[in-house]
Every structure is written in C-alpha cells, then in structure tokens.
Amino acid sequence: MSFEKKMKKRGNQKLDAFAKNPYHQEPIMETKPVRRGMPLWSKILIPVGAVAMGIFGSFIGMRMVFGGFGNKAANDGGYYSYQDEGEAPAAISEDKGGRDGSGAPYTPSDQESATRSWEDLSITSQYPTIDYSDLSYIEYSGDKAAPINAQYIASKMDENITVNGYDYNLNKDHTIEVTIYSIKNIHYKAAIAVQFEGSTEYYAYVCLSYISSTYDELYDELGFANELSLDSVTYTNEEGHLTNQPINNQNDLKALLASYKGQSLNNIYPNDPDVPQEGKIDSIVLSISIPCLDIKIANIEFYNYGLLSIRFSHALPHQFDLGVDSYNAFKEAAMLAIK
C-alpha cells in the first residue's frame, strides 16, 4: 500500500488535529455514523438555516469586496506552517520571490510584518529567519517569543553576523548585527541562540530543515536526556472517549525513550510500516516541550501497530518502526505516568 493510501486510511480513522493549539497534532475520536432519515426538527430548521446562510454569504461577499477580514493565517488548523509552502500572504508583495528574494517559504512573522508597523514588531518578528553556517534558522513564535534563560547558553560561536529583515509596509530592508551562541546539550544543526545588537537577551532559533537519520542522532542532538519535558498524555479511555491527563511522573517514560538508543533505529519518514487492514488504529500521544529551545508545540505519538512518530512544529516528522511489543510497554508506562 502506498504512503498516500496509508495516510488516507489513518486519516479516516482519526482526525489529525487537537484544539490545544493550531499546530499540535493529537488524535481525536473518529466521527460517529450519521443517522439516516430526516427528523421533523430538521425539516423545520433546514429552510431557516438556508435563509441565514444566504444573509451570512452576502455579508462575506461585502467584506471581501470592501476590505476583507484582516490578516489571519491561511492554514490555522495545519501543522507545518501557517500557509501553503511558498505562498505569500495576500498583503505581501511577491516581487521579491519569497523572503529576501530567496524563494524561501513565508512564515507566521511575515503575516505580522504585512499588517503592523516595523516599530511595533518584536525583534524576533522583525528578524524571524537567520542564515548561518549554510543553514536557515527560524523563530516561529514571533511576538510571543520568550527569551531563553542564560543558564542554557554554552559558548559563543560567532559574532558580528549581519541579519536581514524586511518592512513589507514600506518596502524597506533592515539589517542588524547578532552574536551566535551554542545551546547546552543541543547540536548547532538543530538550534542556536541569538543575541541581537544592543540586547542582553538570548532567543532560540531552530533549524528549519533539521532532520536526523537515526533515533540516536535525534535523541542526542535535541538533548532528550537532559532537556526534554513530558507534559501530558492523550489516549482513548475504556469508554472510548479521548482523554488528556497531565504527566505526574516522567521517569519510566524517559527511561523507555532512552532504551530505544542503540537499537539501530533509522528514520523511515515518509514511509510507514504496514498499516493493519483490520482492527482499529489507536495511539498514545505525549505532549512534549523543550524549554531551552522555547519549543512548546511538539508531540511523541506511538501507534498501536508499532510506529513511533516524533513531531515538532517547525520540522518534518521523525518516524521509527519499533513494533507492537514496544507500543504496549509504552502505553503501560504512559498510564502509570498519569496516576
């Protein structure tokens, strides 16, 4: 079965979204079958609804013609970005061919820059991307970006690096000097810390193209042993309802994640192990965060057919085939962690 068909089958069994934030993918219960026939209340409400929709449609049309609705991200419910890759927001001129003429995908901060004056933007919204050592780094939180604690800073890597920003309202380029630092327990190809000229704060910028070929690399380069925080578990309870519970004890789950090292697990994304043709596909989802990187939108999802998927808001997923026995042990540890 092709990857696309597998994804379609999985999607039909659970919707890949979660209401906690626009990026966080956690499973929700599949929709119940629709009852056949039309009850009396439906016969009454349908005509009323049609009239209401007509009025609402007229309102929509008027707003679209006479000024739109403001600047809202085009793909709020998506996972990888606010809008389709490379698609400029309507308020942004496309004559530059992407950010700084590079053709790079537009980011959430581009949306902010297109509607607010340069002076009103945070420093990370003014300069949301940084190119360094042949890698592109991004700060996805924009105005919500929080400086990371100085305790996470390891050592200075470089200084007097020129970073470019662009004022979309005035079509004006800006530059600023930054100093680049390494972050404790984090490989520089995964993330760096940036200190802007005239500031004493440090901001984490993560590599947009970060990908590891093995589980061991991912575990070490993102500092799972020391920096990973396991925050909550989402699972299907005995009554068949989706439940989210905070994690009270991370030790057993962290020990399991550490035990996967040394098993020669390769990142198989975008491939999947064989998805079962019968039976229900279920999963256990851990909401995770990496405080030293200001990463709050991430999860570890273990499917009951043995696939472990680790996903971050800014990067492609990492997928590893561990088998059903590992899933059962993971589920047991997750249930103990929330007691």
Q: What mean pLDDT comes out for the span 98-108?
A: 40
Beta carbons of 173 and 127 less than 8 angstroms apart? no
Beta carbons of 183 and 191 less than 8 angstroms apart? yes
| Nearest C-alpha neighbor of 194 from the set 249, 226, 153 | 153
The rounded radius of gyration (Å) of the Cα atoms in the chain is: 23
- Of 262 and 34, which is predicted with more confidence? 262
Q: Is the dihedral of CA 325, 274, 221, 228 positive or negative?
A: negative
Give yes or no for residue 169 having a pLDDT over 80: yes
Cross-strand bridge partners of residue 182: none
| Location of structure tokens 């994690």 | 247
What is the C-alpha to C-alpha distance for residues 91 and 282, in angstroms, rounded to an integer?
A: 41
The model's confidence at residue 48, banded by pLDDT at 50, 70 and 90, is very low
Token pair in block for residue 168: 């979309």
| Location of structure tokens 């500092």 | 223
- Length of the chain (residues): 339
Interval 276-302: pLDDT, tens: 877 889 999 999 999 888 887 799 999
The model's confidence at residue 114, banded by pLDDT at 50, 70 and 90, is low
Q: What mean pLDDT comes out for the span 186-200?
A: 95
**At residue 171, what is the residue type?**
N
User: Percent of the chain scored above 90 by pLDDT?
Assistant: 53
What is the C-alpha to C-alpha distance for residues 287 and 233, in angstroms, rounded to an integer?
A: 6
What is the C-alpha to C-alpha distance for residues 276 and 268, in angstroms, rounded to an integer?
A: 18
- What is the set of domains in the chain, with CATH numbers? 3-28+211-337 (3.30.1490), 108-207 (no CATH)
- Cβ neighbours around 268 below 10 Å, total: 13
Please report which residue ranges of the chain form alpha helices under DSSP H.
3-13, 40-65, 108-113, 123-126, 215-221, 224-227, 251-259, 324-337
Rounded to an integer, what is the distance from CA 52 to the centroid of its chain? 36
H helix and E strand count, the chain:
8, 14
Give yes or no for residue 310 having a pLDDT over 80: yes
Torsion of CA 305, 286, 192, 218, to 10 degrees: -30
What is the C-alpha to C-alpha distance for residues 240 and 135, in angstroms, rounded to an integer?
A: 45
Choose the most confident range, by mean pLDDT, from 38-47, 76-85, 193-202.
193-202
